[in-house]
């Protein structure tokens, strides 16, 4: 099987390759193609990826190319992991909202909208070219943020696409270690949208162990999630750490005003990683890669690809998938992040218990924003940008949305043709 990684020059890529090396018996990959316009990154990461496989005794070969059509021809699955504009654009996303007292983050709020505007047109162009060369049945696994918006864009355009995030598998692995059980024995009651989710149950052998986590392991849980324990105990659920931007918005903004932007930290880590990858003596995944983020990304991605390309029966994964009535208060074409049964025919959401108003209200609100964000990303226009910002619960004020819209458009003119034409 041929697997193609678009954005293969990412410093994430060795994490994925390491996961493939560890799944030799269940994922029959004989060629992995890394596609990226950055020739220097490919010249470093390609050989390092090959050394990782060779050291693990995996027979797959790594090829690299800047030509998308060449890279996806014959691929069974295409993994998208893009960052349009690189860390420089991310830094802007994380800083310009702070001038208006709004959280600066690359996947939510004004920064998340900026990222969506840059990313969606590029991803749709890539997906159209994939379909033309590899065929309409080729699976696209999207790891590109904001995952929910990008995945809905792909599905709306008729592509076979499933979105993937590492939040669920990261919490599953943490809970398993605390409870002293195998990770695969833990089933999460995971519900919401990408980067807006709650764990409402942690089931092991038919028993919900969430009360135990909240009670006996509360302090460790609060530290791990970076959220107040009294909050989690009161709502009886574990929010993803991205809910910190909603539940502790003002406190987060004050910290962000004085802290080094995450983009700067990641850029420094990436520079160090590239130096390590370039060393021909290095044949295993370096510890520094954990600082890059994306813990357990490789496991989630490899398991999902295995299911989509002919796994043994339906396998359970938490993915970003078309709603189709799963959350009845959302439109069918909304993209939700829930457990699903995944086969080579796709992902079908598993039944979800009714969602409490405390969660459903915020889910519905952000879904409305995501619809408007996608409209702005596909059709452009400063007014569409302002409408999306006005709908976002972290912004929601006319004057603030107007200021942020102007700043967002000004900061992203190099990536938005309609913004250049309107200036």
Per-residue H/E/C for the chain: CEEEEECCCCCCHHHHHHHHHCCCCCCCCCEEEEECCCHHHHHHHHHHHHHHHHHHCCCCEEEEECCHHHHHCCCCEEEECCCCCHHHHHHHHHHHHHHHCCCCCCCCHHHHHHHHHHHHHHHHHHHHHHHHHHCCCCEEEECCCCHHHHHHHHHHCCCCEEECCCHHHHHHHHHHHHHCCCHHHEEEEEEEECCEEEEEEEEECCEECHHHHHHCCHHHHHHHHCCCHHHHHHHCCEECHHHHHHHCHHHHHHHHHHCCCHHHHHHHHHHHHHHHHCCCCCCCCCHHHHHHCCCCHHHHHHHHHHHHCCCCCCEEEEEEEECCCCCCCCCCCCEEEEEEEEECCEEEECCCCCCCHHHHHHHHHHHHHHHHHHHHHHHCCHHHHHHHHHHCCCCCCHHHHHHHHHHHHHHCCCCCHHHHHHC
For the question of residue 242 being annotated catalytic, the response is yes
Q: Compute the residue count for the chain.
A: 423
Instruction: Using CA atoms of 126, 36, 29, 58 in order, give the dihedral in degrees to the nearest 10.
Output: -170
The active-site residue out of 242, 277, 297, 369 is 242
Class of residue 150 by CB neighbours under 10 A (exposed 0-12, middle 13-18, buried 19+):
buried
For residue 348, give both structure tokens.
């079908």
Closest CA to 312 of 320, 321, 303, 300: 303
The residues annotated as belonging to the active site are 242
């Amino acid at each position: 099987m041929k697997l193609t990684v678009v954005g293969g020059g990412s410093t994430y890529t060795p994490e994925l390759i390491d996961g493939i090396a560890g799944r030799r018996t269940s994922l029959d990959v004989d060629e992995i193609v890394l596609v990226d316009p950055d020739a220097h990154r490919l010249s470093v990461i390609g050989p390092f990826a090959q050394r990782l496989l060779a050291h693990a005794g995996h027979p797959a070969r790594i090829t690299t190319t800047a030509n998308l059509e060449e890279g996806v021809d014959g691929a069974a699955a295409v993994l998208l992991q893009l960052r349009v504009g690189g860390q420089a654009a991310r830094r802007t996303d994380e800083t310009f909202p702070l001038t208006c007292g709004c959280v600066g983050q690359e996947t939510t709020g004004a920064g998340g909208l900026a990222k969506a505007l840059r990313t969606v047109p590029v991803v749709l162009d890539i997906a159209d070219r994939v379909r033309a060369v590899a065929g309409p049945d080729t699976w696209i696994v999207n790891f590109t943020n904001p995952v929910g918006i990008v995945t809905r864009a792909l599905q709306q355009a008729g592509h076979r696409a499933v979105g993937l995030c590492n939040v669920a598998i990261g919490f599953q692995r943490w809970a398993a270690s605390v409870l002293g059980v195998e990770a695969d024995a833990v089933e999460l009651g995971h519900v919401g949208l990408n980067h807006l989710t709650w764990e409402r149950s942690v089931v092991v052998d038919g028993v919900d162990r969430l009360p135990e986590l909240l009670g006996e392991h509360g302090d460790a849980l609060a530290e791990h999630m970076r959220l107040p324990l009294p909050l989690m105990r009161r709502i009886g659920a574990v929010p993803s750490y991205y809910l910190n931007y909603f539940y502790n918005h003002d406190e987060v903004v004050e910290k962000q005003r004085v802290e080094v932007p995450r983009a700067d930290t990641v850029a420094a880590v990436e520079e160090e990683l590239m130096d390590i990858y370039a060393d021909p003596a290095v044949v295993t995944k370096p510890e520094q890669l954990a600082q890059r983020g994306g813990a357990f990304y490789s496991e989630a991605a490899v398991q999902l690809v295995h299911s989509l390309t002919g796994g043994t029966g339906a396998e359970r994964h938490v993915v970003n998938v078309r709603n189709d009535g799963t959350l009845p208060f959302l439109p069918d074409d909304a993209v939700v992040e829930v457990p699903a049964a995944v086969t080579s025919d796709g992902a079908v959401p598993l039944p979800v218990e009714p969602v409490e108003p405390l969660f459903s209200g915020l889910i519905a609100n952000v879904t409305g924003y995501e619809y408007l964000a996608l409209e702005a990303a596909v059709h452009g226009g400063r007014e569409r940008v302002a409408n999306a910002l006005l709908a976002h619960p972290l912004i929601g004020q006319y004057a603030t949305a107007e200021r942020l819209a102007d700043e967002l458009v000004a900061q992203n003119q190099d990536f938005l043709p309609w913004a250049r034409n309107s200036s």
